[in-house]
Amino acid sequence: MDSGRIRKLLEKVKSGALPVDEALHGLRALPYDDCGYAKLDVHRSIRTGFPEVVFCQGKTCEQAVEIVKRLAGHHAKVLATRVAPDVAERIAAAVAGCTYHDTPRLLVVDRPVKKAQKAARKGKYVIVLCAGTADLPVAEEAAITAESMGSRVERAYDVGVAGLHRLLDQKERIMRANVLIVVAGMEGALPSVVGGMVSCQVIAVPTSVGYGASFGGLAALLAMLNSCVAGVAVMNIDNGFGAGYFAHLVNR
């Protein structure tokens, strides 16, 4: 709670315009919506610039529907991640304006993404790269998150290091980007290679794509953390949403 608001309140108390009890109450007002099992942080968009995002994994269907419904009552735009298709259907039935993206299992409320994409065709952009086709769900989670927050997003998929010419062919689009999201599983080498080509930040996202000694994405995660290139920061395994969010903060 910032000092400006405290000063105003104190001055009202001094002038008698505000009784002590009300002032006390005002200083402790609840900036969230409590539905028992969840306290919706409706104050977050003021504090951090974007509404609370609903992480649906581990929540019951009922909880997910209720939480999205309540947030949609406070905000024009709501984002829900890791939404199973049947839960998405239930939310769409209860809340108007839903778009469900099934590859990244992402649900966006009251958000004509395509129009936004058109509007965002010009200006600074985020570019999302991914190493292989199996990394698509994570890459799309990142791309649509950034788009739904308002960023222009470009995509360059299946540009893994096994065929460098596919990557080098995208070099100009990559070098003109304002910020990069690089998604890769297996050995996770792509961020290092790309990072050496550009002067902007690289947000690296390891995926759980692979088998054997990939240990659910651990190999890619460690590789990215140990990147010999400066300017690379790393997200949790499969955290496309986080990368899209972070990239938008840089890009806006």
Binding of a copy of itself at residue 131 (CB under 8 A)? Answer: yes
Residue 83 C-beta: closest distance to a copy of itself, Å: 14
Binding of a copy of itself at residue 114 (CB under 8 A)? Answer: no
Would you say the C-alpha torsion 59, 45, 74, 80 has a positive or negative sign?
A: negative
Q: Which is nearer to a copy of itself, 96 or 161 (CB)?
A: 161
Report the distance separating Cα 207 and Cα 210, nearest Å.
8
Region of 52-60, 91-99, 105-113, 114-122 interacting with a copy of itself (CB under 8 A)? 52-60
Residue 245 C-beta: closest distance to a copy of itself, Å: 4
Positions 82 through 111 that interact with a copy of itself (CB under 8 A):
82
Residue 31 C-beta: closest distance to a copy of itself, Å: 6
Q: How many residues bind a copy of itself (CB under 8 A)?
A: 112
Binding of a copy of itself at residue 51 (CB under 8 A)? Answer: no
Q: Which is nearer to a copy of itself, 98 or 188 (CB)?
A: 188
Report the distance separating Cα 4 and Cα 212, nearest Å.
57
Q: Name the DSSP letter for residue 77.
A: -
Report the distance separating Cα 56 and Cα 84, nearest Å.
8
Positions 149 through 188 that interact with a copy of itself (CB under 8 A):
157-166, 169, 171-172, 175, 185-188
Residue 95 C-beta: closest distance to a copy of itself, Å: 18
Positions 192 through 251 that interact with a copy of itself (CB under 8 A):
192-193, 195-201, 203, 206, 208-239, 241-243, 245-246, 249-250
CA distances, 104 to each of 5, 79, 118, 207, 243 (Å): 41, 12, 21, 13, 13
CA distances, 114 to each of 72, 144, 147, 208, 245 (Å): 20, 10, 9, 29, 19
Report the distance separating Cα 167 and Cα 160, nearest Å.
7
Binding of a copy of itself at residue 132 (CB under 8 A)? Answer: yes
Packed helices 85-94 and 61-74: angle between N→C axes, nearest 10 degrees: 40
Out of 5, 49, 112, 118, the only residue in the binding site for a copy of itself (CB under 8 A) is 49
- What the block records as the tokens of 38 is 């969840």
Q: Which is nearer to a copy of itself, 98 or 223 (CB)?
A: 223
